[in-house]
Structure 1
Amino acid sequence: MQGSDGPLTGPNMKNTRKISPELAPTHDKPVSSNNPSTNAILELTRKGSGLRRQGTTRLGSPPTLWQRRAMTILESNVFSGLMNIITIYCLFGDDLRVVYGSKSTDLGFYVVAFVFFCLFCIEFLLSCFAKPFYLASFYFYLDIIATVSLIPDIGFIWDLIVGADNRSVAALSAGKTGRIVRVVRIVRLIRIVKLVKWRHNEEQKQQVAESKTGGKLAEMTTRRVVMIVIFLCFVLPAFDGGYNDPINTFETKGFETLHVFNFQPMPCAAFMGMLKVWITRTTNNLMYLRMSNIPFETTTQWASEIRFSSLDLKVANLTHDPTTGWWPEDMYLSEDELLANYRPTDLRVIRITGCYTTDIDPIAIPGNCTSVTYFDIQSDIQAAAKASMVKAAFVMLVLIASSISFVRVARKTVLEPIERMMATVHRLESNPLAKHTTVEQEDQKLAKAQGFETALLESTLEKISALMQVGFGAAGADIIGKNMGAGDVDPMLPGKKITSIYGFCDIRQFTDTTECLQEEVMVYVNKLGHIMHSGTHAYYGMANKNVGDAFLLSWKLCDGEMPGFARFSDTPTEEDRKAVNATVKCPPNAGAGKKMRRVTPTEMADSALTAFLKCMIDLDNANSFGVLHEYIVKDVVIKRFGPGFRIQMGFGMHVGWAIEGAIGSRFKIDATYISPHVEMADRLEAGSKIFKTKINVSHWLYALLSPGARKFMRKMDTIQIRGVDTPLTVYTFDVTNPKNGFATPKFDTDERGNQVQKPVDFEHDPEYKEIREGLDPEFLESAAAGVDQYLAGDWASAKGSLTHALQLRPTDGPTKHVMDFMKEHQFQAPTDWNGVRTLNGY
């Protein structure tokens, strides 16, 4: 036996009743996992309204100040938005130049492209400097290709690369460079990956709960889809004729024939006729023509004499081509003038060199063996540019739609179940006793119907988590939370001191009932447990353990000790009650409602008392017409106890500190509370047999009740018990009318439609008076006066008051008990009477 707050032992202590209450502790720590993948150096963390990446450098050391600053720039909304706009422009910028620009505006487009090229280089260098594991990664090579693909859009750089140092050479090489540019434009589509990557990152910001597996799979799927589509863009043209320009065979071969015939002896009129026919049948506008051995003025004169037929063939003397809109006057008089007004890529040049006669010395007169002609192909180039823009937009649409489609299938069948399972684990880690109220989605129902393994795993994990919550209870909440967040299983965690209200209830005549019910006794006890647990949970309490004929329940007030209400040596006053209500807020709890809220210690005490009153009344009604009626009418029970038998329970309530934790070994643990205050609730319940009452409440809990609740409590005695230095004043609550449906929780509805449970109100709720109907006020007055006189040592007056009370209520247990005690002393108070008596066996 120890002092007032030491452990209690003795023959009357029931070791089987050291039970741990289930109470949801408050966890303010964020959800996190302590067992991340070793390769996951970058983790998404909340910072402000968005997400930021935090990690280490490639060698594992923390990032430097400059690296952090570089990452801040790279991940800023302004810089990211700017680079994405630039990326979109680069997909279409050069085509816009070709379609809507002119040679005079080309330099402006080239300068813009050069600036954007520099920005891409800056982004690339910053990424190499600041991003962990960026070098030699997929996006490293992607950014290199995307940046280099900008060079053909910068004319003054591209001309240096292809060697077009003068206009004639540029025009001559335009065909070759055009083919290269078309290939590069296909490469340019790889920039779309950056846009898809940005879209994926934005989705990650919106879906914070996305698992690492989901993010990795989505990224890998996007990569593969993009690479496959771009690969097809490269390969398919090779099966459709390659990357060369479509060649007008008539224009080329016909001009070669004219060049050869020009050196042959034939009438001038015949050659002029051949030239005119060739000009009229070309499909592009002829801009310049010079035949070897023929003066330029002559060929120009012949071209001006050409006549065309109208499209309906009714007119045959048109001076312009009605199909192409070409006029002979459109021809330029010199190559330099032509190249000064046209881009080299907008012209198609045919240059034939060869002397097909011995009359000319090609070394002495080199120009006489060369024929050259230029065609305006600007409309074809613009059409190709427009098609290129449509192609880029179409590829973007296909890439985005494909990646979304593929990822969506994987997400619905695999990733979302994994993420829901991870959410269950994190929920257990952050709030081990939180209720799982997730609405089952259609895809979950379909997965279960089709027997998907993920659905089975998800369902199994939910069941396991529910069983863990039921099995460990509130006292094991930390065991669940800390082990779900750790890599190893360690159930033997250090204990934690809390202050709580403890309620203990015991089934009367349990041994005899067990012998009568045999195998049915488990269902019998579970029905009683349901009555006790449902009433407790409806009013913010938690069930702890069920041991044979007893149940222990608790209402957690706070971590640590609550001043004035934690120790046996405390003498709580009204000022103490007001002080703790102003400073202490109990852990969030929803009770029977849907929205969690914090309550004051006094509201928790009133709610705990209401819960036990509800349990008492529901038990009485269950005997009369509820789930217990079937047992009291059994023949074997009637034979054992008689026809008037009723299932009864005793209740005891107390408040104080306890150590919350696990007891056992690695083979078996029990989450429990260890404290003399837990045992005090047991002793109060046992004392209800002495006083012949249903519920006994300690004066410590009585002091925590609201003034309205205290009005209903009746003082029975002040006693000294073993192991507790401070005298114990015992109170009870008289119930004379077990009203069916008593203490059904009442709710308000918040702005979101959630039900918020209303506080109990002993002062104004008529239900508390209704359950005491038939209780004579004169009896209460006489009984209270008699107890006060008895405690004051005026036993003669106490005898009169209590005798009158027994006349009004002959079966009252507390009054009879005090009268019997005074009778043992011939109703004379001992000379050393101090208002406290020692009660053995309590």
Structure 2
Amino acid sequence: MMRSSADIADVAFEAAPSWRKRVLVALEGRYMTVVMFIVTVIGLLAADVQMAWVPKSADTAFVAMYWVTFAVFAVECVLLSLCKPRYFLSFFFFLDVISTIAVLAQIPSALDVVVGAQLSTNTNDTLLLARAARAARTGTRASRILRVSRIVRVLRVAKLYKLLLQRQKTGVFFREPNKVAPQQPDKTPTSKRRIVKAHSQKVVEEKQSVVGTRLAERTTNHLAFMVLTMIFVIPLLTFQDTNNAQVLQLTALSDAANGAYNLTQAEFDAAFASFITFANPLGTQEWAVLMVRVAGSSFAGSFSSPDLPAYRATELTSVYINDKTQALFSGRAESQKNAKYSMLETLLVVFVLAVGAFVFIRDANRLLIGPIERMTRLINRLRHNPLSRKMSTRGTTMTNAAGGGELMETAILEQTLEKLTGMLQIGFGEAGTAMIQKNISANGELNPMVDGRRMLAIFGFCDIRNFQEINELLSEDIMLFVNAVAEIVHTEVHRAGGAVNRNLGDTFVVVWRLPEMVSTTAMEAILERHAQAPSADLTEMTGLSEAEQRAVQEAQQLAAQALAAFLRVICSCANPSDRLEALLRNCPPSGGKLFPNNEVSVGIGLHIGWAIEGAIGSRFKIDASYLSPHVNMTARLMAATKQYKVPILFSGQFWSLLPKTPRALCRMLDRIAVKGSNVPISIHTYDVNTAMVMRVSRVAQVSTISVSRSAIERRRSEHKTKSMISKATSDFDNDKFLISLQIGIVRLFKDNFDLGLRKYLEGDWEHAIKCLQVALRFKPNDGPCENLIAFMTKSGSSAAANWQGYRALQSK
């Protein structure tokens, strides 16, 4: 792959010594920018100000200022050539060299100070003075032309406008771009820190792209070249009328001195005096004769004004006839007028360059660079935070300015890319974050088969009951039905901080990733320690560091959110939305058995544990998923809900992670070993009396335990260490909706069931059966009671001699 010279220069700069980088940062920093702006303005306007308003006595100070300006320009040019990539021999390099030479073209006016001291004493040097005056005026014209090149420097220091804009927006002015403030304890409130961080991310995101920078530079180059060409060429094509009256009069006077007109001495003296008077009409001093010398074969005359030493050589107009006849006239008025016009010309050129560059670059940014930069920011956000849902590049669409109302190609490309990134996020989900980040990195090649990563999470499986019969019943409408249920499940899971991993027809796999404030190994060790005393509250463990305590607290809150989310799913399916209810209402009459009272039954399993997160498949098709025995355990728990006839089952590990209040509202059902595992676990449920739940709107069903989607995404993107919700809002006692789920379930039922379960686990099955039968009186048709009684009755109502307090669950 061929690399451009610009890329090679960038690579070379990266390998350059650190002092070059530091010098470049200083040169392009805010302080140096302001200094160069001031020096450039001085270099542009100082000479004209000197000629228009400043007397000759102050020329020495201006000469010193010119030397300082020259030194600053020269040092800057040398340092930029050494330190800045792609600067040496570039367009701006030559402009800077010309700008520096233009300063030198002004410095020779210092000779005027030396020559002026001799004007009043040595009139024999009239020829020398005449030639010096002509040279000075020629140098002035050359200086004026070269000085125009420094106008382009004003665009180089246009960063000052950006500084002022930054000062207006952020209140910060003099801060070096790469200077990092020392770390101080952050005592800012969380909300303010979040705002500051979001603002800083926005500032970083708004950094101009490489293509935008290059286009702005090239636009400025071309515009400056066109303006400078016009400045140089137009004067050459313009006819300038020359006033030859002085030359003609001095020539006539020279002829008279040589006896051409047969004048007497008195007549010659009168003509000589008339020449001096005519050159100074009405005493205006506009073209006053400052010095004249006429010598011929017949007559001679000379005149020297006492004001001559106060004139600069650039303010003198010389007329040379021959070695014996010369004159110096005052050109101060013309010089002052030209200086003022020169200032106006300079300001006009600056205005044209600035406005032209602004207009051209603005149009390029709006039509091309802006969309490219927005698309680049979108890809960068996706690379840095694949879970961010804030992927809109811009709220408005760009249409054809000609009035056709058609979308421009860049706008279509923006919208397409936005949709593709959204589909990429939806398709891969949270499990595909590593794959997205690696494959969208700046130098990454397409490699969907990334390595797996061990992580801790709460896994949830949710399936639709009787799906095979429903599929046959609804036929083509089955997709609408599944998507309506999926909308309920996905909404509640995302609202509770989880992520949907896969949609498997009638089953939805969801994940709540545990916080990564501590390592996965450390968090697993904490959970193993807690498994030794699962009835204790997880947050009351001793010997935890501050980070581990925060991680445990947030993990506990995530468990509460996961349970609450699925409880809302159960009730939303029991009280379906208008969309789902309309679909059920229109199903064939035989569907009444599958959907009694238009209710949709679901089965849910919850478990916590480790898993390997990564891509599964080949280069032809991949799926981002999780592989782990704990994932399989969750699926077994979901399947077991059919045997126990409950809508939700979760493992003892998940139950022990819950806060105290929801744990007390749960009911342990059994102790089992699922198929494929020899490790017994306890299973629990949260009793839901859906018949007593009032039909309320979906908005009213949203529990106070939930958090907004934006807050969830902010937590993911910022990896906040604080809990997403407070204990007060996660208290099930304060949630009227969750409390209403257990209305009608009496305390005596739970007491008798708990006693019967304890006797069952101890092996006293006769006593256990009696207790469970009593419990059935308070809650007829309770699935767990009937399941345990059926199992014990089938085994002869007495435990085997090798009974170990759990049974194997054979079915999947």
TM band (smaller chain):
0.7 to 0.9
Structure 1 residue 211: deviation in Å?
1.2
Q: Helix, strand or coil: the match of 1:433?
A: coil
Largest Rg, 1 or 2:
1
Structure 1 residue 342: deviation in Å?
2.1
Partner amino acid for 1:499? Answer: L
Q: 1:567 to 1:658 in 2, by over 3 A?
A: farther
**Distance in 2, Cα, partners of 1:501 & 1:660:** 13
Paired position in structure 2 for 1:6: none
Q: 1:441 to 1:464 in 2, by over 3 A?
A: closer
Matched, 1:787 2:757: yes
Structure 1 residue 268: deviation in Å?
4.8
Matched, 1:253 2:248: yes
**Distance in 1, Cα, partners of 2:709 & 2:507:** 37
Q: 1:750 to 1:829 in 2, by over 3 A?
A: closer
Q: Helix, strand or coil: the match of 1:627?
A: helix
TM-score, reference length from structure 2 = 0.82
Q: 1:220 to 1:341 in 2, by over 3 A?
A: same
**Distance in 2, Cα, partners of 1:483 & 1:585:** 35
Query: For 1:201-216, what aligned pairs fall within 5 Å after superposition?
Result: 203=162, 208-216=206-214
Q: 1:683 to 1:568 in 2, by over 3 A?
A: farther
- Between structures 1 and 2, the one with greater helix share: 2
Q: Deviations over 1:488-542 (max 9, x none)?
A: 2100100001111111011111112111222211111111111111111111011
Paired position in structure 2 for 1:189: 148
Paired position in structure 2 for 1:172: 131
Structure 1 residue 672: deviation in Å?
0.9
**Distance in 1, Cα, partners of 2:709 & 2:391:** 18
What runs of 5+ residues in structure 1 fail to find an aligned partner?
A: 1-34, 44-54, 301-330, 354-368, 588-597
**Distance in 2, Cα, partners of 1:523 & 1:599:** 39
Matched, 1:463 2:433: no
Query: For 1:475-554, what aligned pairs fall within 5 Å after superposition?
Result: 475-485=431-441, 486-554=443-511
Higher mean C-alpha deviation, range 78-87 or range 453-462? 78-87
Paired position in structure 1 for 2:339: 385
**Distance in 1, Cα, partners of 2:376 & 2:554:** 34
What runs of 5+ residues in structure 2 fail to find an aligned partner?
A: 120-124, 164-176, 178-202, 280-285, 716-723
Higher mean C-alpha deviation, range 649-658 or range 795-804? 795-804
User: 1:155 pairs with 94, 105, 108, which one?
Assistant: 108
Partner amino acid for 1:233? Answer: I
User: 1:349 pairs with 297, 318, 328, which one?
Assistant: 318
**Distance in 2, Cα, partners of 1:825 & 1:557:** 42
Q: Deviations over 1:455-486 (max 9, x none)?
A: 11111101111111111111111111111114
Q: 1:452 to 1:36 in 2, by over 3 A?
A: farther
Matched, 1:616 2:570: yes
Q: Deviations over 1:298-331 (max 9, x none)?
A: 777xxxxxxxxxxxxxxxxxxxxxxxxxxxxxx6
Structure 1 residue 275: deviation in Å?
4.5
Partner amino acid for 1:510? Answer: F
Paired position in structure 1 for 2:51: 98
CA contact (8 A) 1:714 1:733 kept: yes
CA contact (8 A) 2:670 2:683 kept: yes
User: 2:693 pairs with 702, 720, 738, which one?
Assistant: 738
Partner amino acid for 1:88? Answer: V
Query: For 1:701-716, what aligned pairs fall within 5 Å after superposition?
Result: 701-716=654-669
**Distance in 2, Cα, partners of 1:236 & 1:688:** 91
Aligned-CA RMSD value: 3.5
Paired position in structure 2 for 1:218: 216
CA contact (8 A) 2:539 2:553 kept: no
Partner amino acid for 1:610? Answer: A
Structure 1 residue 154: deviation in Å?
1.1
Q: Percent of aligned pairs with the same residue? A: 30
User: 2:157 pairs with 181, 186, 198, which one?
Assistant: 198
**Distance in 2, Cα, partners of 1:202 & 1:41:** 31
User: 2:17 pairs with 58, 64, 79, which one?
Assistant: 64
Structure 1 residue 656: deviation in Å?
0.5
CA contact (8 A) 2:693 2:741 kept: yes
User: 2:263 pairs with 255, 263, 266, which one?
Assistant: 266
**Distance in 2, Cα, partners of 1:722 & 1:298:** 131
**Distance in 2, Cα, partners of 1:667 & 1:541:** 29
Matched, 1:233 2:231: yes
CA contact (8 A) 1:497 1:660 kept: yes
Paired position in structure 1 for 2:738: 768
TM-score, reference length from structure 1 = 0.79
Paired position in structure 2 for 1:320: none
Higher mean C-alpha deviation, range 708-717 or range 403-412? 708-717
Q: Helix, strand or coil: the match of 2:702?
A: coil
CA contact (8 A) 1:786 1:799 kept: yes
**Higher-RCO chain (CA-CA 8 Å, sequence separation at least 6):** 1
Q: 1:715 to 1:36 in 2, by over 3 A?
A: farther
Count of matched residue pairs: 728
Query: For 1:83-122, what aligned pairs fall within 5 Å after superposition?
Result: 83-122=36-75
Q: Deviations over 1:354-399 (max 9, x none)?
A: xxxxxxxxxxxxxxx7233322221211121121112112211111
**Distance in 1, Cα, partners of 2:553 & 2:324:** 101
User: 2:87 pairs with 126, 131, 134, which one?
Assistant: 134
Higher mean C-alpha deviation, range 408-417 or range 632-641? 632-641
Paired position in structure 2 for 1:50: none
**Distance in 2, Cα, partners of 1:385 & 1:548:** 84
Q: Deviations over 1:531-576 (max 9, x none)?
A: 1111111110111111121111111114534325777995464365
Q: Deviations over 1:189-234 (max 9, x none)?
A: 2222222123259759777521111110011111111121121111
Higher mean C-alpha deviation, range 816-825 or range 791-800? 791-800
Q: Helix, strand or coil: the match of 1:149?
A: helix
